[in-house]
């Protein structure tokens, strides 16, 4: 047996050492995989909660604060439109009455001796 054979024999780990090292690496790998799986699970739950909050908070804000204000604004707008239509209806009635008045004036002009009425 030469120096090279002794050096190789010392450098090569025994079969038992290789098995022990493989066992340690497998155990460490298993521990890391479990930690990664656990972190992925909790990360998914956190992401779900985050998305639910991003969608839920604006809906809650709208339902709690904006919808009542929007509803009262729409009621007020409908009231104003109703009053505006009443004013337009009154204007149409006045036009009809003024039309009647102008036809009455035309009738007065047709009466002999009343031709200068209204001028």
Q: What's the pLDDT score for residue 3?
A: 60
The dihedral built from the CA positions of residue 36, 42, 48 and 51, taken in this order, carries a sign that is: negative
Tell me the C-alpha distance between 86 and 90, whole Å. 6
- Rounded mean pLDDT of 30-38? 97
Say if CB 117 and CB 109 are below 8 A apart: yes
- Rounded mean pLDDT of 1-24? 74
Contacts 24+ apart (CB under 8 A), 97-104: none
5 pLDDT more than 80: no
Residues in the chain: 119
10 pLDDT more than 90: no
Does this model's pTM top 0.75? My answer is: no
- Rounded mean pLDDT of 10-26? 85
Helix, strand, or coil here: 118? coil
């Amino acid at each position: 047996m030469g120096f090279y054979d002794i050096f190789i024999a010392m450098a090569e780990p025994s079969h038992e050492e290789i098995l022990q090292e493989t066992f340690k690496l497998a155990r460490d790998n298993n521990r890391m995989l479990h930690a990664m799986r656990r972190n992925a699970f909790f990360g998914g739950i956190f992401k779900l909660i985050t998305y639910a909050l991003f969608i839920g908070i604006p809906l809650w804000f709208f339902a709690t604060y904006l919808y009542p204000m929007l509803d009262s604004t729409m009621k007020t707008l409908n009231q104003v439109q109703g009053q505006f239509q009443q004013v337009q209806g009154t204007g149409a009635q006045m036009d009809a009455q003024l039309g009647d008045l102008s036809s009455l004036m035309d009738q007065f002009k047709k009466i002999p001796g009343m031709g200068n009425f209204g001028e």
